Amino acid sequence: MPTVYIDEIAKFQGQEVTLQGWVYNKTAKGKLIFLMLRDGTGLIQAVMFRDTVGDALFESTLALTQESSVRITGTVSEDKRAKGGFELQVSTLEVVHLAAEYPISPKEHGIDFLMEHRHLWLRSSLQHAVLKVRHEIISACRDYFDNMNFTLIDAPIFTPAAAEGTSTLFETNYFEDKAYLTQSGQLYMEAAAMAFGKVYCFGPTFRAEKSKTRRHLTEFWMIEPEVAFCDLEGDMELAEGLICAIVERVLDKRREELKRLERDLSKLECIRKPFPRLDYEDAAQILKEENSQFVYGDDLGAPDETIISARYDRPVMVTHYPAGVKAFYMKRDPERPDRALCVDLLAPEGYGEIIGGGQREDDLDTLLSRIHEHQLPVENYDWYLDLRKFGSVPHAGFGLGLERTVTWICGLQHIRETIPFPRTISRIYP
Ligand code: 4AD
Ligand code: MG
């Protein structure tokens, strides 16, 4: 008799199978028990009759608590009314473990309580849906780059120097020395692009974000492509294509999960190329019209991004920010040297920045003077400067923040539910 998963149950109609999982729910009616079984791939109702299984098994099944683990053998039957369309007529049941009183019940719990119990909360159906969408997005990103012959190159986690400003570095002891947790794999991807042409990395990145917001984690995952012989325009096309590939994939494969999350699918269905492009000047003009607190010359704040992105039904790309508010490695616009050849992609519906990137400074002397201007310790960047000594070429790339993307795709209010075990300024447990 085959042991199967709930998501393949349709293939076994009329047959006897064994399912292994956890008791999600239980109701008893006279000589009948309905068990809702969860196995990670789906939910199915198992029906047990006292007359079929005998008194002893019926009584021990009555005593099963929520989240007890079981093996159930029974016959698969079609039931149009049942969730998923199938039901299991139980012939026997083996208790693997009788669960202690489960702390999460269908009643409303506060977010702090749920976060304290994140290791258990992952079993709940909405959390399950979010993480299934996350998985699909990761898979879509990898396929997008792999199908264009990019090479996956892993960046290190321990790094000697900052990539994205020194104020958010996590410092750690490294034997007799100091090291920092990586803020971005970009600088390493630049080296890799000179070796492989088109590369990407996908890994955890760390920022000591001291602000408590709905968009910031201290540990988040980034997909970072980098391409040799690529300019800002090529970079933007790559970013646009990636977002369309993600949206297409989740609409194709994760519709059910998105519906469970009550996501308005029409908001995703209207996303297609080309995305509107705004120069920093255009963005500043919009903010002026909307009476934002925004000060011309500054970086856009989260509320500013919300105002701008709320104007469009698809992602917006904002380019050419003042160089002063951007990182040291950004190439300047030759026609307006106070502007960076950079792009931020803002997700619609007010979700704000999910991608940051641009063209990199490829001239040795210019880059060296930027490192000095930013008061960065030049000796830690010797290897990076080498890339401008040995066949330097125009190149560009970007970073897509995975959790912000999941927040937007799922239509969530807060980033904390988009990663299995969130790390924020106030949380490192569980
Ligand atoms: O705009 P950022 O800082 O760009 C970089 O790190 C570049 N070095 C990437 C590159 O060009 N290779 O970060 C990129 C993205 C942001 O758009 C955002 O989606 C996400 O990373 N991000 C965060 N996500 C969650 N929590 C945080 N604290 C984040 N900081 C950035
Ligand atoms: Mg950014």
> Which ligand has the nearest atom to the CA of 223?
1
Rounded-to-integer distance, Cα 168 and Cα 128, Å: 31
* 45 strand-pairing partners: 36, 87
Q: How confident is the model at residue 107 (pLDDT cuts 50, 70, 90)?
A: confident
Q: Is 224 in the pocket of ligand 1 (CB under 6 A)?
A: yes
For 289, residues 6+ apart whose C-beta sits below 8 A from its C-beta are none
Mean pLDDT value of segment 307-314: 92
pLDDT at site 211 = 82
Which tokens in the block code for residue 288?
A: 């002026």
Whether residue 93 is predicted with pLDDT greater than 90 in this model: the reply is yes
The ligand 1 atom at the shortest distance from the C-alpha of residue 217 is 26
pLDDT at site 106 = 78
pLDDT at site 108 = 86
Whether residue 138 is predicted with pLDDT greater than 90 in this model: the reply is yes
Whether residue 43 is predicted with pLDDT greater than 90 in this model: the reply is yes
Ligand 1 mutation pick, 137, 353, 354, 417, max ligand atoms within 8 A of CB: 353
Q: What are the b/e assignments for 173-205, b being 16+ CB within 10 Å?
A: eeeeeebbbbbbbbbbbbbbbbebbbbbbbebb
Q: Is 238 in the pocket of ligand 1 (CB under 6 A)?
A: no
**Phi/psi at 51 (nearest 5 deg)?**
-65, -30
The ligand 1 atom at the shortest distance from the C-alpha of residue 216 is 26
Rounded-to-integer distance, Cα 199 and Cα 191, Å: 10
Average pLDDT of the chain, as a whole number:
96
Q: Is 357 in the pocket of ligand 1 (CB under 6 A)?
A: yes
**Phi/psi at 199 (nearest 5 deg)?**
-135, 165
Structure confidence by residue, pLDDT tens digits, 198-217 = 999 999 999 998 888 999 99
Protein residue with its CA nearest to atom 24 in ligand 1? 401
Q: Is 348 in the pocket of ligand 1 (CB under 6 A)?
A: no
Structure confidence by residue, pLDDT tens digits, 144-198 = 999 999 999 999 999 998 889 889 999 999 999 999 999 999 999 999 999 999 9
